Structure 1
Amino acid sequence: MTSKTSTVSNKPSKDRASLWGGVVFLLFVIAALVFGAIKANGYMQDEQQMPVQVIDFSGDYQHVNITRLERLIRKSQPGSFFALDVNEVFELVEAQPWVYRASVRKKWPNTLKIYLVEQQPVAKWNEDLLLNPYGDTFNADGHDLALPRLYGPGGSEKTALEGYNSMHALLATTAMNIEELSLSERFAWQVQLENGIELNLGRKEFIDRLQRFIDVYPLLAQQEKTVKYIDLRYDTGVAVGWENSNSDTTNKES
C-alpha cells in the first residue's frame, strides 16, 4: 500500500512578510522625506544660513528715508533670501507716504533690488495733505515745502488742480503767482496772489475773468492806494477794494 504525504504551502506567510516589509520601507521613506523637508525649510528660514546682505535702492528720490525703510523691510522679513516674500516687501514699500510707485525683485545670491518712483508734490491740499501732478492726495510731511495752498470739498482735488494749472499758466505772463486757491462747495473760485491781492472769480468763465484782471491791473497799480481785493463776477467790469478803506470802487468797462 502506497502512502501519500501532503505538503502544506507557506507562500501566504511569505507574502504577508513581504507586504509588511514594503509598508515599513514606505513609512521609512515618508519619514525621511518629511524630516528632509523640515530640515530644508528650517535652513531656508534661517537668516544665518542665507541672509539678505544687500538691499539696493535705486531711482530718483529726495524725501524717502532710505535708512528707515530698510529697517522696516528687515524687521518685516527676518528670514533668509529664500524665505523673503517679494510681494509683502512691495506692499510695504508702496505704503510709504513719499513712494508713488515701486518695483521689487531678488537678485541671487543675497541682494534685494528696489526701484523707487517718488511722489512729486505740486500743492498743499486742505492744510493736511499734498497733491501730486495727477491730482492724487498723499499724506506726507510737507510743512517746509514752498507750495501753493489749495482748498476745496472732498473729491474736488483734480478740479482744483486743473483750475490752478490753467490760472498759473495765464499768470506766467505777469510777475504774479498764486499763493492760495479756494474752491467753494458751489465750485466758485477765489484766489489770493503772492502780492496779497484777493480775486473773486465766481463759478463761470473764471479764466476769462482772470484775463480781465490781468488787463485792468496795470491801471489799478498806478493808483496811490494799494489794492486789497478785486471782484470779477461782473459781466463787463470789476469791483475793487482798497487797503485801509471801507469803500469799494466799481470800474465798468465796455
Structure 2
Amino acid sequence: MTQLMVREKPRLGLWLGLGFLAAVLLMLGYGVYQLNDWLEDEQRLPVKAIRLSGDFQFISAQDVDRAVRQNQPGSFFQLDVRQAKADIEALPWVYRASVRKDWPNNLQVHLVEQVAVARWNQDMLLNDKAESFVARVPQGLVLPDLFGPQGSEQAALDGYRAMLALLQQSGFSISELVLTERFAWHVRLNNELELNLGRSEFIDRLQRFVDIYPLLMQGERQPEYVDLRYDTGLAVGWKQTDKQQS
C-alpha cells in the first residue's frame, strides 16, 4: 500500500507540471496574439506625424505624406521604412530621401531635392549631375532648353557649361543649345542670335565669335545668325530691315 502511493506521487507531480506548462504556453500565445492585434490596429498606434528636414523649394509636404500613407498600413510598427523611402523618392522633385522611425509614432524624413539646370528635349528636366527626370517646372523658374540624342545628356551639359563660362564674360547667356545626331552644336543666345559651331573645336570657334562680335554690331544691320564652321572667318546672316521687308 505504501509503495503504491509513493509511485503515484511522481506521476501526479509530472501531470501537474505539464498542465502548468501548457497553461503558460496558452497564455503566452494569447498574449502574442493580442499584442500583434494591437500593433496592427492603426487607430491604437498610427503614424502621427511625418517630419521633414532638408533644403528644398519644390517638394510638397502633402505629397510626401500622401506617398507614405497610401501604400503603407497605418500602424507605426508595421510601416516598412525601405518601402516608404522608395515611395518618397518616386516623387518628381525628390533626388534622395532617408527615412527613420521616431518613437513612439512619428517618421523623420530628410530630403535632397533635384537641382534642375535645364529643360531636356522639351518634356524632361536635367539635373546638375546630367540625369534627366520628369517634373513640372514651377512658375518663375527660368531654364535654358537643351536638346540632344538619347544618352547624350552628359555631353550636352558639359558643352553647355563650357560655352556659358566663355559667353558670360561678354554678357551673353544661352537660351537654347542643340546637339545633333552627328554631334554638331547649335546655340541660340539670350538676344536671339543663333550660332552654328559645327562638330569640332567649338570652344575655339565660340571664342572667335566673342572676339568679332563688337565689329558685327558696328553696322546698321543686326546679325541674325553666325556660321562659324570655317577654319578661318565666318558667315553672317543679317536681319531684314523695315525697308527690305516692305
TM interval, shorter chain, is 0.7 to 0.9
CA distance in 1, matches of 2:62, 2:138: 22
Equivalent position of 1:149 in the other structure:
145
SS of 1:214 mapped into structure 2: helix
Which 10-residue stretch deviates more, 98-107 or 28-37?
A: 28-37
- Structure 2 vs 1, CA of residues 189 and 11 (structure 1 numbering), >3 Å: closer, same or farther? farther
Instruction: Provide the residue aligned with 1:129 in structure 2.
Output: 124
The match for 1:93 is 88
* Aligned residue number for residue 166 of structure 1: 162
- Matched residue SS, 2:59: coil
1:29 counterpart = 2:24: yes
2:20, 2:3 → 1: CA distance? 30
Give the total of aligned pairs: 240
The percent identity for this pair of structures is 53
1:12 and 1:198 map into 2 onto residues whose CA distance is 109
- 1:27 to partner: Cα distance: 4.0
Cα distance in structure 2, aligned partners of 1:200 and 1:12: 109
CA separation of 1:182 and 1:12: change in aligned 2, threshold 3 A:
farther
Q: TM-score, normalised by structure 1?
A: 0.85
TM-score normalised per structure 2 = 0.88
Give the aligned partner of residue 215 of structure 1.
211
Aligned-residue offset at 1:58: 1.3
The amino acid across from 2:216 in the alignment is: L
Q: Deviation at 1:174?
A: 1.3
1:134 deviates by 0.8
Deviation at 1:137, TM superposition (A): 0.9
Q: 1:104 aligns with which of 99, 104, 108?
A: 99
Identify the structure with the greater helix proportion: 2
Whether 1:175 aligns to 2:171 is yes
RMSD after superposition: 2.3
**Mapped partners of 2:91, 2:48: distance in 1:** 22
Aligned partner letter, 1:163 = G
Ranges in structure 1 where 5+ consecutive residues have no aligned partner: 1-6, 246-254
1:234 aligns with 2:230: yes
Structure 1 SS opposite 2:240: coil
Which secondary structure does the structure 1 equivalent of 2:62 belong to?
helix
